[in-house]
Structure 1
């Protein structure tokens, strides 16, 4: 579903991605872990072309994301089409404060797909029910907790029926007691075999939910493996050191 080949990215003199390779197969969950500044969020944002890579190729379901052969409006049309097939959930919720919960969820299907407003509301209600927030449909974001806002953000990302979901530290801005309610929604998506690429600091969640786990540091993949093996018996000293500090049973 997602192919990342020899991806490099620089910010000035700092090379933050140094030749990353990764394959995400359909229906699989890949977790990316590592310390701050390791390049993991930059990699995820590059998949959605929110960061423009300097070298390499990224593809979604066989279609190349970065297209240096396209310029101007042609590329804008191309990347907008690509992004309609990627749902992305950020660290901060980015909900529209002037729109109700249901309107936040249904805005994209109505505006981008031309979905009938009645059908869009029915679809949005189904999605809100899926994340446990149907009763909050007509509430505005300011009246929601952080965990509820993030669940709305997940429903909004699902509204376009994406081929892959990208999660960039989706729980790191939440109070500890709100983390699990978001993790439960993500676990539900995993049970439905949604293709997911997850950058997370929740080590236990990554271990239990992922099909594959990747540890990054200094812009490179230090180690990757089956999550049960990676988290219980990592081979690299850098991975061992990181997990000793961050893994919780």
Structure 2
């Protein structure tokens, strides 16, 4: 047991910034791209959020590592896998049903967003999923899937890591690095502009100084042009 807000809890990083830290004022990225343009399909990123008047409900029970909870006569396992997508990522495993709820640790059909990292933590979370007794996997984004889709998602993350690390070592600007990444096998994914955020997250990890800033990159999403398959 823990005090409200103590320990690990699952949250979405940008919502936390807008809500928990500045509930009455949208973050810069929420006001739209700094160029003033709102590309088609990106209106959801350009909308301002108003969390005024909302009282957050904090956890009354927290945990680290793993926690088993009885629910309706069956055991449910909560497995901490963050930091990865965010610092508080948690899997929900129902062993006797071979069902796993991944939250935003798994995106199906679209590019993810690496908010917190490190990317190695997200890859490790995918490996953990592949080792669980789970036949039915419910992702945070996309349809219900099985382990083949988890393997594909892990392959995507590994390619982002390897490409961004190489490009960073060559001194390439982050936008150019994102545009030059080989997307063979992944050209069908929606939201390709998010690749800029993911490459930027690896750069940020390698730089170790908080640059390039995620919100700054969100203001540049309309500058991204999806590369052609090689």
- Superposed pair shares fold, TM > 0.5: no
The structure with the greater share of residues assigned to strand is 1
TM-score, normalization by structure 1: 0.27
TM-score, normalization by structure 2: 0.29
The structure with the greater share of residues assigned to helix is 1
Higher relative contact order, chain-length normalized (CA < 8 Å, sep 6+): 1
